[in-house]
Amino acid sequence: MSPRRSAQDTLATRDKIVDRARLLAASDGLEGITIGRLADDLGMSKAGVIGHFGTKETLQLATFAAAVDVFQHEVIDRVTGMPPGLDRLLRLCAAWLDYLDDGNVSPGGCFLTAAASEFDGRPGQVHDAVAKAGRRWLRFLEAQVRAAVDAGDLPGDTDTEQIAFELNGIAVGTNQVIQLHHDPRARERGWRAMRRVCGALG
């Protein structure tokens, strides 16, 4: 086997492990990932699984990064290319709620929200990665609100940080109602709340 082919196979196996770990963590949490379970599910040895990462923490970090990539694809990429303004902000919110409500995309609900709850009081590299992703997302939200202000769609004195904070709070609450209470009205309630915060609902 050529070195190039060997490297490609190694990357493919690593991706397969991470993808399976992401699905397991969606229901059991990042701490719930076990090397034994992954090895059994994938028909690999424990040494074969851990050999791609070295430590469980490295595997957790890779799993979380993969979940962030899914969020990027399902939410942020949906508004790529749209002109800045309120329409783009609302489309982003709609894509966000669709992501929360789609059990096929993220079984167990919002991976990022679950990870934030799981690691908010646990120092370490995973905590830092989760916190960094959360801050980056809030800054992105603030930028979308600010763009709507600059476009003249929202008042000039709009508190962009407050709007981003409230939108994030609505999403976290909606995710909980979807997952804990299985309320079929949760997505629509979240949508109405987001529209109201953005001044798009009387």
Q: What is the pLDDT of residue 3?
A: 60
Q: How many domains are there within the chain?
A: 2
Q: Are 93 and 136 contained in the same domain?
A: yes
Its domain, for residue 18, covers 1-55
The pLDDT tens digits for 77-123 are: 999 999 999 999 999 999 999 999 998 887 888 999 999 999 999 99
Q: Are 87 and 185 contained in the same domain?
A: yes
Q: Are 89 and 26 contained in the same domain?
A: no
Q: Is residue 67 part of a domain?
A: no
Give alpha helix (H) positions in the chain: 3-28, 35-42, 46-50, 56-74, 86-101, 111-119, 125-150, 160-176, 186-197
Q: Is residue 62 part of a domain?
A: no
The pLDDT tens digits for 7-28 are: 788 889 999 999 999 999 988 9
CATH of the domain at 29: 1.10.10.60
More confident residue, 127 or 107: 127
Q: Examine the pLDDT at 128 and tell me if it is beyond 80.
A: yes
Q: Is residue 7 part of a domain?
A: yes
Q: Are 79 and 50 contained in the same domain?
A: no
> What secondary structure does DSSP assign to 121-170, as a single string?
T--SHHHHHHHHHHHHHHHHHHHHHHHHHHTTSS-TT--HHHHHHHHHHH
Q: Are 102 and 25 contained in the same domain?
A: no
Q: Are 80 and 43 contained in the same domain?
A: no
| pLDDT (average), residues 176-184 | 95
| pLDDT (average), residues 120-148 | 97
CATH of the domain at 112: 1.10.357.10
Q: Are 95 and 178 contained in the same domain?
A: yes
Q: What is the pLDDT of residue 108?
A: 85
Q: Is residue 68 part of a domain?
A: no
| pLDDT (average), residues 158-177 | 97
Q: Are 126 and 164 contained in the same domain?
A: yes
Q: Examine the pLDDT at 1 and tell me if it is beyond 60.
A: no
Contact 97, 187 (CB under 8 A): yes
Q: Are 87 and 130 contained in the same domain?
A: yes
Q: Is residue 65 part of a domain?
A: no
Q: Are 170 and 83 contained in the same domain?
A: yes
Q: Are 18 and 102 contained in the same domain?
A: no
The pLDDT tens digits for 36-91 are: 999 999 999 999 999 999 999 999 999 999 999 999 999 999 999 999 999 999 99
Q: Is residue 27 part of a domain?
A: yes
